[in-house]
Every structure is written in structure tokens, then in C-alpha cells.
Structure 1
Amino acid sequence: MTYKTKPLYEEDTKLKVDSIYSYFVILFNDSIHEFSYVEDCLMKLCFKTKREAKKIAMEAHANGKAICFQGSMEECETVAEHMTEANLTVSFGI
């Protein structure tokens, strides 16, 4: 009996590594904060570039919410706490 094994490609490995960090922080749109404040928070607290921060802020504005951070449960919990302390509305989960 012959068994065929699927070759292991880099994409397969990447998918397995990515699944470890399956937690997300979601930023919700609000009418209280200005774009510049939200962008600054995203850069400082979520480690985003100016361009990434602007894109996330626009997505939250247009769709009501946007993923602003992905990482381990502990990382996401910490980022969500800091974002909440900055008076932004966020949640985190799988």
C-alpha cells in the first residue's frame, strides 16, 4: 500500500503560525473623537504606521468597526485596556 504525503510548503506553515494569534481588538466608530486623536492612539497603542492608522480609522468610520490589532490573548487584552483608557470603544476576542 502506497501513501502519498502532501509536501509541506511555506504557506502551510504560515497558516499554522497565524492561527496561534487568532485574537483581535476591534475598534468601534464613535462621534466623540476626532480622526487625528484616533489615528494617534492607533499609532501609539496598536503600533501602527500613520498610513495604517488612517486606513483603520476610515474603515471604522465607514463600516462602524475595524480590526485594529491582532495578537495573543494577553497582547490583545493589554491593547484593549489601553484603548479603553484612551476613551475609545473597543472589544477583543477570537
Structure 2
Amino acid sequence: MTDPTKPIFEEETSLKTDSVYSYFVILFNDSIHEFAYVEDCLMKLCFKTKRDAKKIAIEAHTNGKAICFQGSMEECETVAENMTNAQLTVSFGV
């Protein structure tokens, strides 16, 4: 039986917060490419739906940058390289 006057302490658990999907690719706004081209690249290279691609393109245009892909380090490196080859300005990191 527990004493109701004493606080009950939960056992501390250490949750691993490092996920293999903790890397991001960030798309930066530019004044060179048309929205349709950026949306197409987001759909083809970042595996986004047309709706999500449009949201990301608008966010990058409005805020100067937007997260366009999340995945493992290797996946993000590949996506960032493909986006760069498509002449889009991106970076990736944690």
C-alpha cells in the first residue's frame, strides 16, 4: 500500500530522440524559376503531391525558405543533390 502523503515518482526513461529521419532539405526562394517548375521538381524529386508542392513553393516564396524533404542523412543528401542539379537553391542539415 502506498502512502498518500508521499509523492509518487515515475521512473525516468530515456527516450531516444535521434531519429534516422531527423535531417531536412530546405528550399530557398529565388527569382529565377517559375512556380510551376519548382512545383514539378518538388513532386518529382521530393515525392510531394501537387497540393504539398504548391504549399512548399508558396512558403519558400513568402518566407524565403521552406522545408521540402525530411529523411535520413543519405536520403537528404541525394534529394539536395538532385534539387541542386535542377538549378534550385537548397541546403540540408539537422
TM over 0.5: yes
Match of 1:45 in 2: 45
Q: Counterpart amino acid of 1:83?
A: M
Question: Separation in 1 of the partners of 2:53 and 2:19?
Answer: 24
Where do 5+ consecutive residues of structure 1 fail to align?
7-12
Match of 2:85 in 1: 85
Q: Counterpart amino acid of 2:43?
A: M
Is it true that 1:19 corresponds to 2:34 in the alignment? Answer: no
Question: Separation in 2 of the partners of 1:69 and 1:24?
Answer: 6
Task: Give TM-score scaled by structure 2 length.
Answer: 0.82
Is it true that 1:59 corresponds to 2:59 in the alignment? Answer: yes
Contact 2:20 2:73 in 1 (8 A): no
Shift of 1:81: 0.3
Question: Separation in 1 of the partners of 2:78 and 2:57?
Answer: 20
Aligned CA RMSD, in angstroms, stands at: 2.1
Question: Separation in 1 of the partners of 2:80 and 2:37?
Answer: 16
Q: Counterpart amino acid of 1:46?
A: C
Where do 5+ consecutive residues of structure 2 fail to align?
1-7
Structure with a larger share of its residues in helix:
1
Aligned residues: 86
Match of 1:70 in 2: 70
Larger of the two Rg values belongs to structure: 2
Describe the SS at the equivalent of 2:19.
helix
